[in-house]
């Protein structure tokens, strides 16, 4: 089927991607009429969906009650890799196609992984604070050596999740001279070169998470797993906050059970005021606000890929189908 009546589209939460620094021309070229919403609230969602042939959403939740009332809706494009914000069964029941975008943010996420890791291993925050506080100016020597620095060369990184991101992280890690270990997906995973997680943890100096959040992976790094890690090991999580038990991680960091953690994701996003892990004033903990994916280049690739998904659908093909 060619051009299945695609005339109007609505973007439900454009402000979560574009802050007037992106080019929307490819989206405008594939659909005649767009409604651009910074963020549609739940009570406004049914009205926003009315009459739309295509819906683009990043994080707005599309439940059965919304999809069943959107009589013209033919295609939902997620501006993300994950599709946990839509009732897929309801979409299928209402004959609504769903697609996503995969791999668009790989370069951005990879550089963020190593930004967090290097900030921890080079004690970046401590040394920049020391300079601002005048410690260097008061020093008797040409440099400060107050905070021990570690090299990545010769260290071992364990990677959980070996898709686009995991493979790209491994490539950069090897460029730093690191050894790479890959975690098994589960105990039935018999692929060569994979190590069961509990056997991998005591061996690694760095653990980097790149797997999806599922019922199987939720809380996969908790107190028992942290207890298996080296005392100077670093945990990096740029995947999903729910993979890590944040309370167990806080306890481990406070007790110096592991060396540090760099987090770009939390269990609750945005975190409410007084969120425990944000209140912790720990030099071995760095938290960034889910920005690993958010380089301008990655966000532009994301929008351009959505345009290609819509264009393919109009030509009778379902690209990046979920």
Asked if residue 301 and residue 269 are part of one domain, the reply reads no
Domain annotation covers residue 146: yes
> Range with the lowest mean pLDDT among 3-12, 20-29, 214-223?
3-12
Domain annotation covers residue 322: no
Residues 94-136: tens digit of each pLDDT: 999 999 999 999 999 999 999 999 999 999 999 999 999 999 9
Report the C-alpha gap between 101 and 78 in whole angstroms.
7
Is the predicted pLDDT of residue 188 greater than 90, yes or no? Answer: no
Residue 82: pLDDT band (50, 70, 90) is confident
Report the C-alpha gap between 31 and 12 in whole angstroms.
15
Asked if residue 207 and residue 163 are part of one domain, the reply reads yes
290 given a catalytic annotation: yes
Report the candidate in 85, 3, 28 with the shortest Cα–Cα distance to residue 322.
Answer: 85
Domain annotation covers residue 320: no
319 given a catalytic annotation: no
**Residue 73 domain boundaries:** 8-102+296-314
The catalytic residue among 167, 194, 290, 319 is 290
Residue 3: pLDDT band (50, 70, 90) is low
Domain annotation covers residue 158: yes
Asked if residue 111 and residue 219 are part of one domain, the reply reads yes
Asked if residue 225 and residue 306 are part of one domain, the reply reads no
Mean pLDDT of 25-41: 97
Asked if residue 278 and residue 162 are part of one domain, the reply reads yes
Asked if residue 282 and residue 233 are part of one domain, the reply reads yes
- The CATH number of whichever domain residue 128 belongs to comes to 3.40.50.720
Contact (Cβ atoms closer than 8 angstroms) between residue 318 and residue 6: no
Domain annotation covers residue 1: no
Report the C-alpha gap between 115 and 205 in whole angstroms.
16
Total number of domains constituting the chain: 2
The catalytic residue among 240, 267, 299, 301 is 240
The catalytic residue among 269, 296, 297, 317 is 269
Report the candidate in 111, 102, 108, 116 with the shortest Cα–Cα distance to residue 172.
Answer: 111
Asked if residue 117 and residue 229 are part of one domain, the reply reads yes
Domain annotation covers residue 3: no
Q: For the chain, what is the HEC assignment? A: CCCCCCCEEEECCHHHCCCCCCCCHHHHHHCCEEEECCCCCHHHHHHHHCCCCEEEECCCCECHHHHCCCCCCCEEEECCCCCCCECHHHHHHCCCEEECCCCCCHHHHHHHHHHHHHHHHCCHHHHHHHHHCCCCCCCCCCCCCCCCCCCCCCCEEEEECCCHHHHHHHHHHHHCCCEEEEECCCCCCCCCCEECHHHHHHHCCEEEECCCCCCCCCCCECHHHHHHCCCCCEEEECCCHHHECHHHHHHHHHCCCCCEEEECCCCCCCCCCCCHHHHCCCCCEEECCCCCCCCHHHHHHHHHHHHHHHHHHHCCCCCCEC
Asked if residue 229 and residue 196 are part of one domain, the reply reads yes
pTM of the model: 0.92
Mean pLDDT of 210-218: 93
Report the C-alpha gap between 208 and 116 in whole angstroms.
11
| For residue 152, cis peptide bond before it (omega within 30 degrees of 0) | no
Is the predicted pLDDT of residue 49 greater than 60, yes or no? Answer: yes
Domain annotation covers residue 179: yes
Helix axis angle, 106-121 to 164-175, nearest 10°:
40
Beta strand 156-160 with 206-209 is: parallel
Is the predicted pLDDT of residue 179 greater than 90, yes or no? Answer: yes
Asked if residue 124 and residue 66 are part of one domain, the reply reads no
Residue with the two structure tokens 């406070």? 254
Domain annotation covers residue 319: no
Asked if residue 154 and residue 46 are part of one domain, the reply reads no
Report the C-alpha gap between 6 and 315 in whole angstroms.
10
Residues 223-277: tens digit of each pLDDT: 999 999 999 999 999 999 999 999 999 999 999 999 999 999 999 999 999 999 9
188 given a catalytic annotation: no
Is the predicted pLDDT of residue 51 greater than 50, yes or no? Answer: yes
Asked if residue 84 and residue 123 are part of one domain, the reply reads no
Asked if residue 255 and residue 111 are part of one domain, the reply reads yes
Residue 1: pLDDT band (50, 70, 90) is very low
């Amino acid at each position: 089927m060619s051009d299945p009546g695609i005339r109007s589209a609505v973007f439900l939460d454009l402000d979560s991607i574009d802050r007037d620094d992106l080019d929307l021309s490819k989206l405008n070229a594939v659909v005649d009429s767009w409604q651009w919403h910074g963020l549609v609230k739940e009570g406004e969602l049914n009205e926003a969906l009315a009459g739309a042939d295509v819906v683009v959403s990043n994080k707005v939740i599309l439940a059965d009650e919304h999809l069943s009332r959107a009589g013209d809706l033919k295609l939902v494009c997620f501006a993300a890799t994950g599709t946990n914000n839509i009732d897929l069964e309801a979409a299928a029941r209402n004959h609504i196609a769903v697609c996503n975008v995969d791999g668009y943010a790989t370069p951005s996420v990879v550089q963020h992984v190593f930004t967090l890791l290097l900030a921890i291993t080079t004690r970046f925050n401590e040394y920049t604070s020391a300079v601002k506080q005048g410690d260097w100016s008061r020093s008797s020597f040409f440099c400060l050596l107050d905070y021990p620095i570690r090299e990545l060369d010769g260290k071992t990184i364990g990677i959980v999740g070996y898709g686009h991101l995991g493979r790209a992280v491994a490539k950069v890690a090897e460029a730093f001279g690191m050894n790479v270990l890959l975690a098994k997906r589960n105990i039935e995973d018999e692929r060569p070169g994979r190590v069961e997680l509990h056997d991998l943890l005591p061996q690694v100096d760095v653990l980097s998470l790149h797997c999806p959040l599922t019922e199987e992976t939720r809380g996969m790094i908790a107190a028992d797993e942290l207890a298996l890690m080296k005392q100077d090991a670093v945990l990096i999580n740029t995947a999903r906050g729910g993979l890590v038990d944040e309370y167990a991680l806080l306890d481990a960091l406070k007790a110096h059970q592991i060396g540090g953690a760099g987090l770009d994701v939390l269990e609750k996003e945005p975190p409410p005021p007084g969120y425990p892990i944000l209140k912790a004033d720990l030099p071995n903990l760095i938290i960034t606000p889910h920005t690993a994916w958010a380089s301008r280049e990655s966000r532009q690739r994301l929008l351009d890929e959505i345009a290609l998904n819509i264009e393919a659908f109009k030509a009778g093909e379902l690209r990046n189908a979920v």
